[in-house]
Chains A and B, each alone.
Chain A
Amino acid sequence: MTRKQILLIGVLLVIACALPFVVSNYRTFQFTLVMVYATALLGLNILTGYNGQISLGHGAFYALGAYCAAVLMDQAGAPYWATIPAAAAVCLVAGFLFGLPALRLEGLYLALATFALGVAMPQLLKYDHFAKWTGGVQGIVIAKPEAPWGLPLNPDQWLYFFTLAVTLVMFLLAWNLLRGRIGRALVAIRDQHIAAEAMGVNNAIYKSLAFGVSAMYTGVAGALSAIAIQYVAPDSFNIFVSIVFVVGIVVGGLASISGALYGALFIQFVPNIADEISKAAPWAIFGIFMIGFVYLMPTGVAGAVRLLLARRKS
């Protein structure tokens, strides 16, 4: 990293820390959601952007993480912070296991298989025999965490900082993972898997691991969202969640860490703008925004920013 980049990240961090003291609680809550989405998108980006495996069912892992957190808090009385690593572990294993059979599926076929997972998830959550834990169609209502150690923060602000901390750790881990050997291997598999194999990259292991790690990120985001929303229900995790995640990484920028953040801002705020413009056809307006972004910034927002910076330099 250059000194300039470190400076930039430092400035961003200062802004992020100051934010909840400047804006209203409601905005703080919205930015908490942005970070939640950013973590989920980062997970999907590791799989799709870096490794080239398309998933249309990441909403399922998001739901799994959310339900892990909610069930643990509701049934076992676990503290909210302890549910994050638990959700991460469960989703890592679930993602890895799903990734193994998915190895045989390429491109669009994998997209279909994951799509099936995303479609099935809400119904699995309603399944009668799980209802004892999942609350069935009623879902689970959970309590809002208060700031600990007598910190002078209201619950929204505390939740913001908690989410910020988790998000930072997750981004740091991803950055560390992707810039080194593993990251290069993932990209090599995406670009030319035969060549990658010839170079000694174990395709099967890397692809399954990418799936596991990606699911873990999305699961952590799911757990964070459950804590922030204080409620999980099957209706919260329909197939649209998965589709919107794909929209997020494409608009934000594939194979880019900062792209996850741009994508999160897009999926959080653009639907609200669309709703303000038209009640009759909010999705149509959302679609226009999407087409606009993809046309104007074919490499995502992250790509456009990179291009802009490069132009200024030259």
Chain B
Amino acid sequence: MKAKFVTASMVLALAAFPAAAQKKYDPGASDTEIRIGNTNPYSGPASAYGTIGKTIAAYFTMVNEQGGINGRKVRFITYDDGYSPPKTVEMARKLVEQDQVLFLFQTLGTPSNTAIHKYMNMKKVPQMHVATGATKWNDPANFKWTMGWQPNYQDEAKSYVRYLLKEKPNAKIGILYQNDDYGKDYVKGIKDGLGAKAKSMIVAEVSYEVADPTVDSQIVQLQQSGADVFFNITTPKFAAQAIRKAYDIGWKPLHFLNNVSTSVASVLTPAGLDKSVGLISTAYIKDPTDKQWENDPAIKKWQTFMKKYYPEGSLIDNSNVYGYTVASTLHQVLKQAGNDLTRENIMKQAASVKGLKIDTLLPGIVIQTGAKDYAPIQSVQLMRFNGKQWERFGQIIDSSM
């Protein structure tokens, strides 16, 4: 009798919610499990970023402890690729063909993701929320199975340029950039933003290699060029050197620092907080080392999460907030997907996130995607360093507008 009643109510439920109850699975999904694949550089030159993969793994351990997503446990399988593209290809194939994951998530690095771009799209397996700010990931017309996540480098560069053209239209610009795809993407953004004025306004453009010991001579070179605006497109170690050197040789340009290197603890403190006054940058995520978020409930929640699930992780590393935030985004996508866990639907849901707020993002910044918009975060806010903390100013800049 009881069984009959259950069946009857199930039939009723099915009739009422035909879509929700219909279970559809692709490889990697079942009634009990969702398998997600990932590659991260746990060894090699970029191993500092490996902490992102560990944070994401910890995040899903937490989700599983709390009952999983729509009753399914997440199995997050992550492999080391040492930031070497051939290894990424091998590991991506292992994840897709052998481990049979539903999709890849947060594979890290521009060259590594380029190496598997074609393969993933040929296999029609989502390459979800890749961990790189290159602009090419937002291309649903040609690569419908690949989606970025963070604001892309070119858009960020354009938001500095927009501010610059308003405040200082006759600036003489000096650019320091890292000689790789990331640095060049920024430079392209600056030039595109300046348009026809680029030729006359940019007076110096110098680069460095990741393997260089310092950028001191480049800074001297930029000062001698007579530039009064400095675009500092560098990764943390070099950013700290550049800020310190510019200050020490008495060069006082309007100084734009890229978002990659805004950490107070790992960049500005070693550079000297007094030497960092007046820096302008952008942000979209809360910096755990910034005093203004000291008592912020979201950062507090993040700290509790870190202490419980990833105790060996650093509480002053921005990457760990990044990992937490991007994993929260995926969490939402999977919730939205319900019981239709096909690759097609995962992509469809990822491309229909509307105004998602995650509390570790800056107030006012939302995640928004569409069938033709594969760039989840497109807004940033300008901020200026006052010697103690970053002060955000101006409106949220939305580059999709």
Contact among A25, A30, A138, A233 for B90, CB-based, below 8 A: A30
Contact yes or no, B86 A225, CB < 8 A = yes
Contact yes or no, B184 A26, CB < 8 A = no
**Within residues 48 to 91 of chain B, which ones have a CB less than 8 A from any CB in chain A?**
50, 53-54, 78-80, 82-87, 89-90
Nearest chain B CB to A172's CB is how many angstroms away? 26
Residues of A within 8 A of B118 (CB): 141, 230
| Interface residues of chain A: helix, strand, loop or mixed (majority) | helix
Q: How far is the CA of A238 from the CA of B81 in the complex (A)?
A: 13
Determine whether A282 belongs to the interface, using a CB cutoff of 8 Å to chain B: yes
Nearest chain B CB to A171's CB is how many angstroms away? 22
Contact yes or no, A139 B86, CB < 8 A = no
Residues of B within 8 A of A136 (CB): 184
**Within residues 79 to 114 of chain B, which ones have a CB less than 8 A from any CB in chain A?**
79-80, 82-87, 89-90, 93-94, 97-98, 109, 111-112, 114
Contact yes or no, B97 A282, CB < 8 A = no
Determine whether A275 belongs to the interface, using a CB cutoff of 8 Å to chain B: yes
Contact among A33, A225, A240 for B44, CB-based, below 8 A: A240
Determine whether A24 belongs to the interface, using a CB cutoff of 8 Å to chain B: yes
Contact yes or no, A26 B94, CB < 8 A = yes
Q: A24-B97, A26-B93, A275-B80 are in contact. Are A137 and B179 (CB under 8 A)?
A: yes
Residues of A within 8 A of B179 (CB): 126, 137
Residues of B within 8 A of A119 (CB): 211
Residues of A within 8 A of B31 (CB): none
Nearest chain A CB to B206's CB is how many angstroms away? 13
Residues of B within 8 A of A139 (CB): 85, 111, 114-115
Q: How far is the CA of A138 from the CA of B135 in the complex (A)?
A: 13
Contact yes or no, B85 A233, CB < 8 A = yes
Q: Which residue of A lies closest to B122 (CB)?
A: A144
Q: A24-B98, A29-B93, A282-B42 are in contact. Are A231 and B115 (CB under 8 A)?
A: yes
Determine whether B391 belongs to the interface, using a CB cutoff of 8 Å to chain A: no
Determine whether B18 belongs to the interface, using a CB cutoff of 8 Å to chain A: no
Determine whether A203 belongs to the interface, using a CB cutoff of 8 Å to chain B: no
**Within residues 245 to 267 of chain A, which ones have a CB less than 8 A from any CB in chain B?**
none
| Interface residues of chain B: helix, strand, loop or mixed (majority) | helix
Nearest chain A CB to B341's CB is how many angstroms away? 22
Nearest chain B CB to A25's CB is how many angstroms away? 6
Contact yes or no, A231 B93, CB < 8 A = no
Residues of B within 8 A of A229 (CB): 85-86, 89, 115
Contact yes or no, A233 B114, CB < 8 A = yes
Residues of A within 8 A of B43 (CB): 282-283
Contact yes or no, B115 A233, CB < 8 A = yes
Determine whether B181 belongs to the interface, using a CB cutoff of 8 Å to chain A: yes
Q: Which residue of B lies closest to A284 (CB)?
A: B43
Nearest chain B CB to A267's CB is how many angstroms away? 11
Residues of A within 8 A of B82 (CB): 240, 271
8 A-B pairs (CB sep. < 8 Å): A126-B179, A139-B85, A229-B85, A229-B86, A229-B115, A231-B114, A235-B83, A240-B44
Contact yes or no, B97 A236, CB < 8 A = no
B 170-183 binary contact with A (CB < 8 Å = 1; else 0): 00000000011100
Contact among B54, B85, B86, B98 for A279, CB-based, below 8 A: B54
B 28-44 binary contact with A (CB < 8 Å = 1; else 0): 00000000000000111
Q: How far is the CA of A137 from the CA of B186 in the complex (A)?
A: 14
Q: Which residue of B lies closest to A27 (CB)?
A: B98
Determine whether B45 belongs to the interface, using a CB cutoff of 8 Å to chain A: yes
Nearest chain A CB to B288's CB is how many angstroms away? 22
Q: How far is the CA of A279 from the CA of B97 in the complex (A)?
A: 22
Residues of B within 8 A of A282 (CB): 42-43, 80
Nearest chain A CB to B134's CB is how many angstroms away? 9
Nearest chain A CB to B25's CB is how many angstroms away? 21
Contact yes or no, B79 A231, CB < 8 A = no
Residues of A within 8 A of B114 (CB): 138-139, 141, 231, 233
Nearest chain B CB to A153's CB is how many angstroms away? 17
Residues of A within 8 A of B117 (CB): 141
In the complex, besides A24-B97, A137-B181, A229-B115, 20 extra interface pairs with C-beta distance below 8 angstroms are: A25-B93, A25-B97, A30-B90, A123-B209, A126-B180, A137-B179, A137-B184, A138-B181, A141-B114, A141-B118, A229-B86, A230-B118, A233-B114, A233-B115, A235-B109, A235-B111, A236-B84, A271-B80, A279-B53, A279-B54
Q: How far is the CA of A272 from the CA of B53 in the complex (A)?
A: 17
Q: How far is the CA of A32 from the CA of B362 in the complex (A)?
A: 48
Nearest chain A CB to B354's CB is how many angstroms away? 33
Nearest chain A CB to B359's CB is how many angstroms away? 28
